[in-house]
């Protein structure tokens, strides 16, 4: 099965995306960087086009309890970021690599809490199948969120961290998507032409328990490093909802 036409614009944009369009936190110069990769997996489920997301286990050493794309560190025997993202998705939630068609990658992005440079691998789930929590030590839950929900202006908001940082967020109905994942998702919706006008003044304070868990998993870091800031949307973003 070839990727659907609603992914055409995003696929065409991927080779041209620059790191500074995604984040102000670019990988630092010099030194040996720890490499990681995440799988941004678009599929077509019962409710139409959707995206696979997970909630990280509360016991994780970094980014505990936070929403995320499946993924993790690039191992020495992985053949790069793509192989690592596919392997991690299989190990964490049972995604069969053979069911996935990789569309492209985004530039590596720096996550100060874990000191990783993370490469998002964007893919089409050409043969969707049942997924579940496979590794409970790393994943608390897994969900396929319809793009219609993510692009609905009523489910978009900003969240404010106690440090004063404000960033994009998505109310999925069971999981508040914020931080690094929301920052990447915010840009992908724009690059794919799916973004719809929404009330950017709608802001919510992050739940104290969420903040405490994030800080506890990165105790050596300043509070404002718990999340990934993103720049303003590019002026070229237009709506072409799937």
pLDDT tens digits, one per residue of 61-89:
555 568 899 999 999 999 999 999 999 99
Query: Lowest-pLDDT range, 81-85, 164-168, 236-240?
Result: 236-240
Fold of 5-225: Nucleoside Triphosphate Pyrophosphohydrolase (3.90.79)
The residue with tokens 């055409």 is 8
- HEC profile of 224-240: HHCCCCCCCCCCCCCCC
Whether the predicted pLDDT of 169 surpasses 80: yes
**pLDDT tens column, 93-150:** 999 999 999 999 999 998 876 778 999 999 999 999 999 999 898 899 999 999 999 9
Give the start-to-end residue ranges of the domains of the chain: 5-225
CB proximity list for 160: less than 8 A, separation 6 or greater: 166, 203, 204, 205, 206
> What pLDDT does residue 56 have?
86
Whether the predicted pLDDT of 224 surpasses 90: no
What confidence tier does 194 reach under pLDDT thresholds 50, 70, 90? very high
> What pLDDT does residue 215 have?
63
In this prediction, residues 145-156 reach a mean pLDDT of 97
CB proximity list for 75: less than 8 A, separation 6 or greater: 84, 87
The more confidently predicted of residues 213 and 57 is 57
> What percentage of the chain carries pLDDT values higher than 70?
83
Whether the predicted pLDDT of 195 surpasses 90: yes
Q: Among the ranges 15-29, 79-93, 132-146, 218-232, which has the highest mean pLDDT value?
A: 79-93
> What pLDDT does residue 105 have?
98
Q: How many residues does the chain have?
A: 242
> Are 52 and 43 within 8 A, CB to CB?
yes
């Amino acid at each position: 099965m070839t990727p659907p036409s609603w992914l055409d614009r995003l696929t065409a944009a991927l080779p041209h995306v620059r790191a500074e369009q995604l984040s102000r936190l670019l990988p630092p110069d010099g030194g040996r960087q720890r490499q990681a990769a995440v799988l941004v997996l678009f599929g077509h489920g019962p409710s139409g086009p959707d995206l696979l997301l997970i909630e990280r286990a509360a016991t994780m050493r970094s980014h505990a309890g936070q929403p995320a794309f499946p993924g993790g560190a690039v191992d020495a025997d992985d053949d790069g970021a793509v192989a690592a993202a596919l392997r991690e998705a299989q190990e964490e939630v049972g995604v069969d690599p053979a069911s996935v068609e990789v569309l492209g990658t985004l530039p590596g992005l720096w996550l100060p809490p874990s000191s990783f440079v993370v490469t998002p691998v964007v893919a089409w789930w050409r043969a969707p199948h049942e997924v579940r929590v496979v590794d409970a030590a790393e994943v608390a839950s897994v969900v396929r969120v319809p793009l219609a929900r993510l692009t609905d202006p009523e489910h978009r908001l900003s969240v404010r961290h106690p440090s004063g940082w404000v960033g994009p967020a998505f109310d999925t109905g069971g999981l508040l998507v914020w931080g690094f994942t929301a920052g990447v998702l915010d840009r992908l919706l724009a690059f794919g032409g799916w973004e719809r006008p929404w009330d950017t003044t709608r802001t919510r304070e992050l739940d104290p328990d969420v903040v405490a868990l994030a800080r506890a998993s990165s105790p050596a870091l300043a509070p404002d490093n718990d999340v990934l800031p993103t720049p303003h949307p590019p002026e070229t973003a237009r709506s072409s909802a799937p």
